[in-house]
Every structure is written in structure tokens, then in C-alpha cells.
Amino acid sequence: MRASFGSRLTTAVSLRGPLCVGIDPHPGLITAWGLPDDPGGLERFALTCVEAFAGEIAVLKPQSAFFERHGSKGIAVLERVIAESQQAGAVVLLDVKRGDIGSTMAAYADAYLADGSPLAADAVTLSPYLGVGSLEPAFEAAEKSGRGVFVLALTSNPEASEVQRAVNGGRATAQTVVDLAAERNIGVTPIGGIGVVVGATIKDLGVDLSTLNGPVLAPGFGAQGGTLSDIRTLFGKSLRNVLPATSRGVLQAGPDVFALRSEALRTRDAIVSAAGDH
């Protein structure tokens, strides 16, 4: 039986360091690599990333939308990225940000979290803004299959604050999301499989992560402006469970496999050093 997601993630980070590299086949990056913005170019881009990162980096995060824009051929490439990354030992966090209700949410859970699905990753991102309870089918599927989820809590886009920082019943919405995730992680060791997403570029955290007992994905590190200092200041005592995520900052080193891998490892080592100094 597969070990829990929290256990597998903890092991991967202990062996490979705390870094998540996004595989984001943005059309601008594909063309910057000298590739055509078509399914063939997508495949070369994505599988080059797998070759460069999957054997060394703890977590890879394919952005589903950039594969979906190429239709069925793009989805076929995504399936290969997931399978080949996992075979090389990387934890695959599929960035899909799905969120729905009832049977539709259950169908998303079947697609991304159920054994036997060609799109089943080790974890997915989810949006809770139809109510955290609407994600129940995904929580159940993840627990049953030893997979994880990362629920959007406090993202760094400027439009987010009107919803995520709105106060209801004395708590900000983002805090409610964190607290409901924490309830599901109580007593789980080494950490629970319900994580949250908190942007690395946020200047004022304003939420208490101390009881989460789960992983925190921190996108926006690197090219989007998040720095090592920001991460240390933002997360403080919760830093040990934080997974900084970068994409463009590393992917700009392509298309050479060695250059991509070197940039990813340099970034990872800088994070490890900064965490050790904390």
C-alpha cells in the first residue's frame, strides 16, 4: 500500500531539498527555447524539463492549463510528464486549481487522485471558493489513495484580497481555509496530506499556520519577486513545512538540460542554506 502523501513528501524533501519547480510550457517560453508553439514543441519542452529535474528535484509542478491549450495531444504529453517524473522519483503536484460541487467534484477527484487514472498525480491544487466542504470528494479520494491536495488559501494576485481577506464570523476567509485543513491533519505524522497555498510575494501574512500540520506551497519565488528573505520573514516558525515554488526563474535557463538542472540545484541549495541559517 502506498505511504501517505505527507510521509512521501517529507522523505522527498529530506533527500532532495525543499524546492518545487514548475513545468509551465508558456508559449513565450516555448518560443524562447526556439521551439514551435504546437504539440511537438510542447512535448520537447516538457520532456526536456523532466530530463533535467525529475531525478534531482523533490517536487515538480506541471501547470495543466498550458498543456490543455493544445487539446488532446497536449493532455497526452501531460500524462507522459506525470508518469516519467514519478518513475524518476519526483513527487508530482499537478496544478489544476479545480473546485466544484457534488458529482462534478467527484469526477475531478477520479481524474486526478484515483488509482488507475492516467492523469493521477501525487497531489493537486484545489480552489475552495465554493466552500471548503465542496472539496470533500477530493479529500476522500486523496486519503484513500495516499495522495495529497493543496487548497488555495492566500494567493498573491491583487484581486484575491477582496475574497481571501474578507472577514466572516471573526475570521478571514483564508484563515478559515487553513483551519479546516488543519482539522483534517490532526494527529497525522509526520505531517498531514492537506496542504495550503500561500504566495511567496505576500508582504503581510495575516494568517496563523501554526496548527496546520501540513505542507505549505509558496509559489512566486524567484522571477515573480519572492526572495529567500521574504520566505523566512513571511513564514517564520512554519518554515520547515514550506515548499518554495519557482518556474520561470529556472526555466529561463533552457533549453540546455545541464543549464536547467544547474539552475534548479543552485536555487535549491540557496533555499537549504537560508533555512539552515534561520
Q: Which residues contact 189 (CB under 8 A, 6 or more apart)?
A: 6
pLDDT tens-digit map of 159-217: 999 999 999 889 999 999 999 999 999 999 999 999 999 998 888 889 999 999 999 99
CB 260, CB 254: distance < 8 Å: yes
pLDDT tens-digit map of 91-127: 999 999 999 999 999 999 999 999 999 999 999 999 9
The pLDDT assigned to 274 comes to 75
**Rounded to whole angstroms, how far apart are CA atoms 219 and 123?**
15
Question: In which domain, by residue range, is 107 found?
Answer: 5-277
**CATH code for the domain in which residue 134 is found:** 3.20.20.70
The pLDDT assigned to 277 comes to 54
- Report the SS3 class of residue 189: coil
How many CB atoms are located within 10 Å of the residue 116 CB?
7
In DSSP terms, 221 is beta-bridged to: 226
Question: What does 194-220 look like in DSSP terms, one character per residue?
Answer: EEEEE-TT-S---S--TT--S-EEEE-
Amino acid at 214: G
**Rounded to whole angstroms, how far apart are CA atoms 124 and 112?**
7
pTM of the model: 0.96
- Note if the bond before 118 is cis, omega within 30 degrees: no
**Rounded to whole angstroms, how far apart are CA atoms 43 and 66?**
11
User: Which residue, 203, 125, 124, is CA-closest to 158?
Assistant: 203
Q: To which residue does cell 524562447 refer?
A: 32
Q: Which DSSP letter does residue 99 get?
A: -
User: What is the number of domains present in the chain?
Assistant: 1
pLDDT tens-digit map of 238-275: 888 999 999 999 999 999 999 999 999 999 999 888 77
Q: Percent of the chain at pLDDT above 90?
A: 84
Q: Which residues contact 105 (CB under 8 A, 6 or more apart)?
A: 98, 99, 134, 135, 136, 137, 138
Question: What does 117-141 look like in DSSP terms, one character per residue?
Answer: -TT--SEEEE--TT-GGGGHHHHHH
**Residues taking part in catalysis:** 97
Question: Cα 188 to chain center, whole Å?
Answer: 20
**Cell triple for residue 66?**
498550458
Whole-number Cα distances in Å, 190 to 5, 11, 111, 151: 10, 10, 27, 19
